[in-house]
Amino acid sequence: MENKNVRTRFAPSPTGYLHVGGLRTALYSYLLAKKYNGSFLLRIEDTDQTREVKGAVENIINTLSWAGLNYDEGPGKSGICESYIQSERLPIYKKHAQQLIEQGDAYYCFCTQERLDKIRESNEHEHANLSAGHAGSGNFSGAGYDRHCRDLSKEEVNKNLESGKSFVIRMKVPLEGQVTINDLIRGQVIIDYKVVDDQVIIKSDGFPTYHLAAVVDDHQMKISHVIRGEEWLPSTPKHLLLYKYFGWDAPEFAHLPLLLNPDRSKLSKRQGDVAAEDYRAKGYLPEALINFLALCGWNPGDGDEREVFSIQQLIDEFSIERVGSSGAIFNLEKLQWLNGVYIREKSSQDIKKYIENTLGFDFKTNFAKFDDTKILKLIDLYKDRVKTLQELLDSLKLFCFGPNNIYNQEAIDKWVTSNTKNHVLSLIEVFKKEENFTHDNLASVIKTLAKDLGIKLVDLAQPIRISLIGTSASPGVFELLELLGKTESINRLNNFIEII
Ligand code: GLU
């Protein structure tokens, strides 16, 4: 890739949560900029006021910051433009739309909604006929508007404007010919102008549409590479035309493949979480999500099996050329595995701090019975076994509050026999006399008891686990007992024998 002054941007619309696909777009834009010591910008595309959701901008900013994708220019940060929020840049778009009108590259359209609806209906009808194999008029364009106002006389336009008729401004798209997009991921993509609509660039509320605003902004913000989802590929001919009309050089384009469910359907809410915030809330570490998303579409090279990448490694190794063009599978199991890798790498102190600061969990009030040292020991005990920090917290809760008479039935079926009650009763007696409730001593006491009872250690250890935390899957039973202490351990054993 040519090493020019690389400037990339992430340009989300604040319509709610930040989709993981959006976060991936931001990541690839960030990586490319950082690789070439360039700048990564955040621009808020809020020109569709009807879709705006309160708090969405703050959410985008917080999520990017959580993910470590800090932008160099954007809301709250100065740069070459005064504002990076489109609703604060309206006069700029108006001026440019005016320029296109004067040049004859755009026109006022006074068509009523009623008329537009009729056109849409008849287009749909024609399309249905064509798909069904009927002979239609033969020139169905796929583009919506019939260009009714494209050739209105100056007088007509002025008369309409003076009488205060509502209008939009549309760009003129050539009636024939083709455009070639040189996409960095897909190579040459050729699109016929016939399927491109005379796109509205200024709406009747005076706001620009995304198309005009994005082109003007990408130019003014000196964006060198536009990286975005493949759903924007069909819009690119319009954008290239706008660059041409304005006499500007177009940036490079890279359209990323869709994120797919394992069954290759489009990643959707119905099949799982799609909001980056949900992954944060469920206790995925940003390093893991970022590492995972980097691999959703990009790979380090043929035959290179590495899967764990720090952000610096990603910056060093990322290249657009290695982004595939077919859909990228969002494999949750891989994300969970990676999350486990990053959790294990962290110290228990760091994990505790992260849970407190980022997940907003207060250990002091929630686990009043356990001091910091115990909590840290517990985290150490559990962190190798969990895939998410939510899972870790759930385990800690179970440990701190006990099973509350809810025991895993499968574990009971497997480990509880008609003799178990007696075994546990003997254990309670031994524990009552035990002053030294520490790991090593408990290990020897329990082993001796198992021997005396003539059973295997596991046949005693598993019922203890179930008594203490309701399930047989847990870290070492001696550690659990030591951390819980004598009184609480005996209480839980007593509760357990009540129900068996
Ligand atoms: N605002 C568009 C979106 O929400 C951005 C498209 C682009 O990056 O050009 O996806």
Report the separation in Å between the CA atom of 311 and the middle of ligand 1, taken as the mean of its atom positions: 24
pTM exceeds 0.85, yes or no: yes
Q: What pLDDT is recorded for position 49?
A: 84
Grouping H, G, I as helix, E, B as strand and the rest as coil, residue 418 is coil
Query: For the chain, how many residues are written?
Result: 500
Report the separation in Å between the CA atom of 473 and the middle of ligand 1, taken as the mean of its atom positions: 46
Give the Cα separation of 437 and 433 in Å (integer).
10
Q: Is the CB of 14 under 6 A from ligand 1?
A: no
Q: What pLDDT is recorded for position 87?
A: 96
Q: What pLDDT is recorded for position 143?
A: 62
Q: Is the CB of 214 under 6 A from ligand 1?
A: yes
Fold of 1-76+257-337: Rossmann fold (3.40.50)
Q: What pLDDT is recorded for position 130?
A: 58
Give the Cα separation of 427 and 496 in Å (integer).
12
Contact 256, 25 (CB under 8 A): yes
Contact 382, 396 (CB under 8 A): yes
pLDDT tens per residue across span 178-201: 999 999 999 999 999 999 999 999
* DSSP strand pairing (168-171 vs 106-109): antiparallel
Written as six digits, the tokens of 115 are 């008329």
Report the separation in Å between the CA atom of 228 and the middle of ligand 1, taken as the mean of its atom positions: 7
Atom of ligand 1 nearest to the CA of 13: 4
Written as six digits, the tokens of 328 are 């990228």
Whose C-alpha lies nearest to ligand 1, atom 2? 12
* Ranges of CATH 3.40.50.620 domains, the chain: 1-76+257-337
Contacts of 460 (CB under 8 A, 6+ apart): 423, 427, 446, 449, 450, 453
91-202 has which CATH code? 3.90.800.10
Contact 204, 242 (CB under 8 A): no
| CA dist list (Å): 105 to 96, 163, 261, 272, 304 | 11, 24, 42, 45, 50
Residue type, 295: L
Atom of ligand 1 nearest to the CA of 231: 10
Least Cα distance to 18 among 59, 72, 49 occurs for 59
DSSP 207: P
Atom of ligand 1 nearest to the CA of 45: 1
Low-confidence ranges of the chain (pLDDT < 50): 133-142
Least Cα distance to 126 among 118, 238, 198 occurs for 118
Burial class (CB in 10 A: 0-12, 13-18, 19+), 332: middle
Report the separation in Å between the CA atom of 330 and the middle of ligand 1, taken as the mean of its atom positions: 21
Whose C-alpha lies nearest to ligand 1, atom 3? 12
Give the Cα separation of 259 and 122 in Å (integer).
34
Catalytic residue status for 269: yes
DSSP 419: T
Residue type, 29: S
Give the Cα separation of 145 and 119 in Å (integer).
7
Counting ligand 1 atoms within 8 A of each CB, the residue from 19, 41, 45 with the most, and so the one to mutate, is 45
Report the separation in Å between the CA atom of 84 and the middle of ligand 1, taken as the mean of its atom positions: 14
Q: What pLDDT is recorded for position 369?
A: 87
Give the Cα separation of 117 and 202 in Å (integer).
19
Contacts of 341 (CB under 8 A, 6+ apart): 288, 308
Our CA angle for 85, 90, 93, nearest 5°, is 110
402-497 has which CATH code? 1.10.10.350
Contact 110, 166 (CB under 8 A): yes
Counting ligand 1 atoms within 8 A of each CB, the residue from 7, 8, 13 with the most, and so the one to mutate, is 13
Q: What pLDDT is recorded for position 125?
A: 78
Written as six digits, the tokens of 393 are 């917290």
* Ranges of CATH 3.90.800.10 domains, the chain: 91-202
Q: Is the CB of 232 under 6 A from ligand 1?
A: yes
